[in-house]
Each structure stands twice: as C-alpha cells, then as structure tokens.
Amino acid sequence: MNRKEFVKLGLALPLLNLYSKHVRGMEQMLPTVKDDFVWGVSTAAYQIEGGYNADGKGLSIWDEFVKIKGKIKNGDTGNVACNFYDLYENDIELLKLLKIPAFRLSLSWPRIFPNGIGTSNKKGVDFYHKVIDKCLKNDITPWITLYHWDLPNDLELKGGWTNRDIVSWFGDYVDFCTTEYGDKVKNWMVLNEPLSFTGAGYFLGLHAPGKKGIKNFLAAAHHAALCNATGGVIAKKNVTDGNIGTTLSCSWIEARSKTSKDVKAAKRYDAIINRFFTEPLIGLGYPIDTIPSLKKIHDYYKPGDETKLQFDFDFLGIQNYTREIVKHSIKMPIVWGKTIPPEKRSVDFTANDWEVYPEGIYKLLQKFDAYKKFKKFYITENGASFKDVISDGKINDTKRTEYLKSYIKSVLKAKEDGINVKGYFVWSFLDNFEWAEGYDQRFGLVYVDYLTQKRTIKDSGLWFSKYIAGF
C-alpha cells in the first residue's frame, strides 16, 4: 500500500509518527521475550468481515439473529462491520506496519459452505486463500479458528448444535478446511469458547440462535465437546507439522466470603466456566461431582462417547478478561449463585463492567498447568473495552495500555515461573461488532469509524507495536 492509500484511509499521521513523543511517554517497558514466544492479535469473521451475502455466501445464525428486534444494542448488525471482506489487503498492510507477527482470524463456515454441507463456494474458498497469501507475503503468520460462532443458518434449521448430526457436519467442514489450507497454515484452533456459544446461544437465548433451556444447552454442549475432539483428530491428520489447539473462555472465580454456601457457589461457577469443556478433553468427564444436575447430559451420550470426547491437543488457548466474585443465591438454578458486579466492590473495571484483575490470568495459567496433561498454552484472547475519544486525530487510551501492560506482566511471570505459555494475542486488532453489544463496545488496538471505514491507530496499538518489536 502506498502513502496515498494510507492517507485515503486516514492512517497516515499515526503511522508515520509511530515512535513519536506521545508514545515515548508511555515507556514503562516490560521484559522482552526473545525466544519463540508468539505475539499477535485476534479477530473473528462475523465481527469484522461484513459482506454478509457477498459472492455466494450463505446466511449464518448471526445474520438471522440480528434481525430480531431488541436482541442487539442499537439494532446493529454485522452486515458491513469493518468491511474486512473488501479491505483485507489494507488491514494486513496495517498489521505489517505495526510489526505484528501473528494474526488470529476465523473462517466463516457459511462463506465456504453456504448451506453448511454439500458443495463449497469457490469465491468464499478463494477469499481465504487470498487473505492467507497476503499474510504470508508480509511475513505475518496466520492462526486460524475453524468455528467462531457463525453456524450456517441452514444447519440451525435442522437443530444446529442440538442435533447430533452436527458432529458429522462439522467433521466434514474441518476436513475440507484443513485439507484446503493446511499446506499454508500450520496453527489451528478448533472452537472458540464453546461454553460461550452454547450457554449464551442455547441456554440464555442472549446470542444466536436465541434458544433457551437446560435441555437445549446440554445437548448443544455435549455435541460441541464431541466436535472439539473430532475436529482436533481431523486437523492433526490433515496438517503436516500442525500446531493444533482449541480455545476456552476462562475467568478466575472467588467466593465472596468463607461461608460454606458462598464457597460452594464459587466452586459451581468454576465447574461451569473453567472445567466443563476442559476436563472431558483429558478423560475426566464433565464436572458432575460438583454439579450433580449436570448428569442429565448423559441423556445425549452414545456408546463410546467417553473416548470420543478426548483429544490430546498440542496447545490450549486461554481466553481471559476478568475475575468473578460469587455469592450464594437461590435465584440461579444449577449454579445456585450469582456474581457481584465490580462497581459494587470498589475495584477498577472496563467499559463493559469487567473487573481489571491481571493476577487472575496468572492464577488461571497455574490452574490449567496443574492438570499436567496440557503441553503448552497460548493466551489467545485478552483485552479491554474503554470509551475511546479521538482528539486531534489521536486516541490516548491510557487505560487500555495499562491494562495490557499489567496482564502481559502476569503472563510473563507465569512463563518465568515455569509454565509453558508460548504466546499472547490481544483482543482485538480492530474495533468490531461485539455480538449483543453491537458497536457499543470497543476493544481494538485500531479505532474504526464504521460510517467511513477510516482506521485510526490508538496509543495502545502504538505501544504494543513498539513493545513487541523489542524496544
């Protein structure tokens, strides 16, 4: 991309001034990591691509869900989002200029298979070849997530994640993608946060497809857990020298008090949030010991499922943002507890009401390392939403920069203490469509004006670029 093109996108000033005085003023530098530690940024297809019906793409459950009045803040949709579908070359050039060596992105299942199964869409397949090739040409390593929540809507009409057939559907999709792109891409993640998309989408009804109820959740969760392992097996078979993992949403959980009721409530929260999709992978099954009512998930078992749930991934992706303080409550069945909002606890919190607690990411790495069955870890998502303000063409997001510094410091402490953590990815590269929050929350290192598609690098992005460059 030449200078005129940068100017056109509104990128010139912050980029040409990458190490300007206002950035040098943020130089409380952390220790640099010179080995094979991976630094990167993360995104997801539905959240950035747009082009929701372009070039033969089928509709996803999110394309349909955003049409339902009241489900998304301000009535926002991902129809255009960051228009990465058209601007991917410019955005990858921006990654290059920021010297970010790894780019985590997801494939849109309905862009590749408009109906979820059957004939692939050549233009969709070719799009990801172009994205991957552009990354490689610019010395940026692509890390691909196979499923980041945008299930083809045609499959949802057949029951989606509640239908056992999804294990076969997903297996065919993974087989195609890892065969098609596996000679170029070696780093793969099977699922993004299975608890999030099954819990919010099939239990609470807050996310697509908007289903509710424990039966929907248990069916969807079990099938997602089977797909997690099945996808791992297929990807490992197809990708020579592949680095195959999956990602889990995790939060550090503490009880409000030492009372028996609060402590037990916190243990139940931990069982759901941190153990539910972790322990089946390593042969421990679901955490029924802590939440006996989960035994109903066995209604969805078939012979051999205990073994089919297990897979020895090359890595586990930890995605952490916050800590939860839990107290006993009779109003929340199953977990019999509720979280205490950070604003009631006199602690720092982000724009979306998540506590800033960098010690939690260290404690979570310790927790997962204690299983002794995971080979290595990557922090595949970590970041913060704050109310960004543009002033004189700049965004001085000091709170986000300090957040990143504190969490990175905790990750590197875990590494120094002997935990095999091998990388850190910021959520997110660009401000984007944040699911039910629409465009109200901004997590990006790069500010996006959604009306003009102008990109403006935030001070946090400049700081991260400078830090990982080794200064």
Residues assigned a catalytic role: 193, 381
Given the structure tokens 């991934």, which residue do they identify? 313
Determine the Cα–Cα distance for residues 278 and 442; give it in Å rounded to an integer: 29
Q: Dihedral through CA 133, CA 227, CA 361, CA 378, nearest 10?
A: -30
Helix axes 194-202, 214-238, angle to 10 degrees: 150
Among residues 157, 285, 264, 265, the alpha carbon closest in space to that of 221 is found at 285
Helix axes 398-416, 359-369, angle to 10 degrees: 30
**Phi, then psi, of 443 in degrees rounded to 5:** -110, -5
Beta bridge partners of 155: none
Determine the Cα–Cα distance for residues 128 and 110; give it in Å rounded to an integer: 13
Given the structure tokens 């290192």, which residue do they identify? 445
The set of long-range contacts for 254-259, using a CB threshold of 8 Å and a minimum separation of 24, is 254/323, 254/324, 254/325, 254/326, 255/325, 255/326, 255/327, 256/325, 256/326, 256/327, 256/340, 257/327, 259/328
Burial degree of 214 (CB within 10 A; 0-12, 13-18, 19+): middle
Determine the Cα–Cα distance for residues 335 and 313; give it in Å rounded to an integer: 29
Q: Respond yes or no on whether the N-terminal peptide bond of residue 460 is cis (omega within 30° of 0).
A: no
Between the alpha carbon of residue 101 and those of residues 123, 242, 382, the distances in Å are 27, 18, 17
Q: Respond yes or no on whether the N-terminal peptide bond of residue 209 is cis (omega within 30° of 0).
A: yes
Residue 239 DSSP code: S
